[in-house]
Amino acid sequence: MDEAAIRETLSAVEDPDLGDDIVSLGLVNAISVEDDHVAIDLALGAPYSPNETAIADDVRAVLAQEYPDVEVELSASIDSSLDADEQVLPNVENIIAVASGKGGVGKSTISVNLAAGLADMGARVGLFDADIYGPNVPRMLGSEETPQATPDETIIPPEKYGMKLMSIDLLMGEDAPVIWRGPMVHKVLTQLWEDVQWGSLDYMIVDLPPGTGDTQLTLLQSVPVSGAVIVTTPQEVAIDDARKGLQMFGKHETPVLGIVENMSRFKCPDCGGEHAIFGEGGGRAFAEESDMPFLGEIPLDPAIREGGDEGKPMVLGEGETAEAFRDFVERTANNQGIIHRRRVSR
The annotation places the binding site at 101-108
The vertex-151 CA angle with 145 and 157, nearest 5°, equals 25
14 bridge partner residues: 21
The vertex-208 CA angle with 206 and 212, nearest 5°, equals 135
d(C-alpha 124, C-alpha 168), whole Å: 22
Cβ pair 127, 170 in contact under 8 A: no
Q: Give how far Cα 185 sits from Cα of 89, 189, 313, 332, Å.
A: 19, 6, 28, 29
Bind-site residues for ATP:
101-108
The vertex-90 CA angle with 147 and 206, nearest 5°, equals 55
E runs forming strands in the chain: 28-34, 37-42, 71-76, 92-99, 125-129, 148-149, 155-156, 159-160, 163-167, 201-207, 227-232, 256-261, 266-267, 274-275, 294-297
Collapse the DSSP code of 320 into the 3-class scheme (helix H, G, I; strand E, B; otherwise coil) and give the result: helix
Neighbour-count burial of 179, counting CB atoms closer than 10 A to its CB (0-12 exposed, 13-18 middle, 19+ buried) = exposed
Collapse the DSSP code of 161 into the 3-class scheme (helix H, G, I; strand E, B; otherwise coil) and give the result: coil
Cβ pair 38, 6 in contact under 8 A: yes
d(C-alpha 324, C-alpha 244), whole Å: 26
